[in-house]
Amino acid sequence: MAKAVKKKQITVINKPQRPIDRYFTLFNQSHQHPVNLLLSLLAIQLIFFGVFGLVWIQPFPEISFLKRHGYDTYINWASIFIAIIVYAYLRLSPMLSYIVLLNMGVYAFFIVQLEHWAAGGGPAVWLCCLALLFVAGLLLILGAWLEGRNSGLKFLLLGPIWSWYLLFRRFRLPY
């Protein structure tokens, strides 16, 4: 006697891809070589730190209302930069935007340390940031050469959340 075998049907539901997922797919296609991936991850963080540091040190106009209430030390161009970046990333992926906010908090700590170092006779903060940008540019060029293609600057703005996305994907965390 033959037994009847029930076949399981697997239903595949195609969820519409979010814009961030499409960007990450393009990003991943441009970073197939493992050394290029590593160089890009490092360069993206260096670029983000360098740009953030250069924005941080720009003089902010003195606003009497803020000074009178003691908030003048909390508001500078970097705080506006943070608000814009976090809002832009929030629209793409809330979880990743929170992580980037935390990332910028760590960067702020190190920029303040660079300010203390400069005050103690070390190099100027802007010089350190420009040096980091230069090194990061070299790393990106080397990575593009290894990959055999140039991804250009189109991914630079999404780079900070892409690097965190890779970590989230590695540990299967929702983003």
Q: What CA–CA distance (Å, rounded) separates 109 from 118?
A: 14
- pLDDT confidence of residue 134: 98
Residue 43 pLDDT > 80, yes or no?
yes
Which residue intervals of 14-76 are DSSP H helices?
19-29, 34-56, 64-68
89 close to 68: Cβ distance less than 8 angstroms: no
Q: What CA–CA distance (Å, rounded) separates 62 from 59?
A: 9
Q: What CA–CA distance (Å, rounded) separates 138 from 158?
A: 19
User: pLDDT class for 35, splitting at 50, 70, 90?
Assistant: very high
Q: How many CB atoms lie within 10 A of CB 50?
A: 22
39 close to 143: Cβ distance less than 8 angstroms: yes
Arithmetic mean of pLDDT, 27-35: 89
134 close to 37: Cβ distance less than 8 angstroms: no
- pLDDT confidence of residue 76: 85
The rounded Cα 23 to chain-centroid distance in angstroms is: 14
- pLDDT confidence of residue 95: 95
Residue 2 pLDDT > 80, yes or no?
no
pTM assigned to the model: 0.83
Angle at 171 between CA 167 and CA 145, to 5 degrees: 35
Encoding tokens for residue 175?
A: 């983003």
Angle at 140 between CA 137 and CA 142, to 5 degrees: 110
Q: Side-chain half-sphere of 139: how many Cα atoms within 13 Å?
A: 19
| Eight-class DSSP state of 7 | P
24 close to 92: Cβ distance less than 8 angstroms: no
pLDDT tens-digit series, residues 139-175: 999 998 988 876 666 677 888 999 999 999 999 999 8
Q: Which residues contact 49 (CB under 8 A, 6 or more apart)?
A: 107, 110, 111, 129, 132
